[in-house]
Amino acid sequence: MNNLPSNLPFDPDMLDRYLDGAMNTVEAAAFEQQIARSPEMLAQVRLQREVDGSLRDSFNVPATGGLMTESEQRAFAPKKERRGWSRETKMFASLAALLIIAVSIQAYIWVSSPGSAPERPSLAQAYYQLVNHGFRPSEECTTPEKFAIWTNQRYQVPLALKENRPEVQLVGWSYSSAISNYTGLLLAKVDGKPVVVALDTIDRQNNWGVPCRRQPKDETGVNFFSAELDGLILYEITPFDRPRIIDNLAVLKR
């Protein structure tokens, strides 16, 4: 499919480019759509803006890049020059600003760093949470074209179904932190029963650790199957005794 978008997935470098105003209109619009869909991304953007705001307040640098609300624009606007401050007052203000910056950077590192396995939901928890809440996706995905576009936008790997299986119905995509903060969850129905495929990159799994498939307190009744495909890791959580989706996926050849 030659019309697939080529937007890059979210990463810290893209965050810096967005806040610095280095993205073109198409990139910025795609990045803002990703931010709107992910509470974790939104939190990181707001935190980085607070860090940038502290730096601007300290050195009286005007705000540039990114989209800000009116309140953010007022907060980040260049401060009026203050006259009559003593050298001691200026030194104290500078030290206080540096302390705020250090604390903000540490908080950003803490938010961005991988969590331990017990802090993340197990694959079974991710499955039953969707089932118990009506199996409603965050984004609809009812056609192979939408499926390939979504995977290409998020992971730069356009996936497609190798064959049409009448018993498989694609429902849509949701999000989780089962593998990393950027894990996608494909919702599908096979013979009318809910099946979920957790999708992420192998590199993120290596950095965050292999996800837990089931905690002792989790409900039973599902099986787990995994596969690797062009740098991606896929986990199928299913009530069936064999995979019905991940064995039918391939990289779309353009």
Same domain, 94 and 129: no
- Contacts of residue 164, defined as CB under 8 A and 6 or more positions apart, other chains included, come to none
Are 107 and 42 part of one and the same domain?
yes
How do the pLDDT tens digits run along the chain, 254 residues long? 434 344 445 566 777 777 777 788 888 888 788 878 887 777 777 877 776 666 566 555 455 444 455 554 555 555 555 555 666 676 777 778 888 887 777 766 655 555 444 578 999 999 999 999 999 999 887 788 888 888 898 999 999 888 989 999 999 999 999 999 999 999 999 999 999 999 999 999 999 999 999 998 898 899 999 999 999 999 999 999 999 999 999 998 76
72 and 155 co-located in one domain: no
| Domain residue limits at 86 | 12-112
Q: Is residue 105 located within the same domain as residue 126?
A: no
Residues pairing with 170 in the sheet: 188
The pTM of this model reads 0.55
Asked whether residue 154 falls in the same domain as residue 92, the answer is no
Tell me the two tokens of residue 205: 């799994």
Per-residue three-class SS string for the chain: CCCCCCCCCCCHHHHHHHHCCCCCHHHHHHHHHHHHHCHHHHHHHHHHHHHHHHHHHHHCCCCCCCCCCHHHHHHHCCCCCCCCCCHHHHHHHHHHHHHHHHHHHHHHHHHHCCCCHHHCCCHHHHHHHHHHCCCCCCEECCCHHHHHHHHHHHHCCCEEECCCCCCEEEEEEEEECCCCCCEEEEEEEECCEEEEEEEEEHHHHHHHCCCCCCCCCCCCCCEEEEEEECCEEEEEEECCCCCCCHHHEEECCC
φ, ψ of residue 95 in degrees (nearest 5): -65, -40
**What domain count does the chain have?**
2
Of 77, 97, 112, the residue at which a domain comes to its end is 112
* Separation CA 66–CA 16 (nearest Å): 10
Amino acid identity for residue 104 in this structure: S
Q: Are residues 55 and 129 in the same domain?
A: no
Query: What pLDDT shows up at residue 80?
Result: 55
Cβ–Cβ under 8 Å, residues 31 and 14? yes
Residue 3 located in a structural domain? no
The verdict on 213 and 174 lying in the same domain is yes
